[in-house]
Structure 1
Amino acid sequence: MRTFKEIFEEYGADYQKTIARFMGNEKMYMKFLGMLFQDPSMEKLGQALKDKDYGEAFTAAHTLKGVTANMGLTPLFDRVCAIVEPLRLGEAREDYPDMYREIEDEFHRVEGLRDELSEVI
Structure 2
Amino acid sequence: MAKNLYVGNLSYFTTEDALKEVFSEVGEVASVSVITDRETGRSRGFGFVEMANDDDAQKAIDELNGREIDQRAIRVSEARPRRSGPGGPGGPGGDRRSGGDRRSGGERGGGSRRW
Q: Tell me the TM-score range normalised by the shorter chain.
A: under 0.3
> Whose radius of gyration is greater, 1 or 2?
2
Higher relative contact order (CA 8 A, sep 6+): 1
Structure in which a larger fraction of residues adopt strand: 2
Structure in which a larger fraction of residues adopt helix: 1
Structure-1-length-normalised TM-score: 0.27
Structure-2-length-normalised TM-score: 0.28
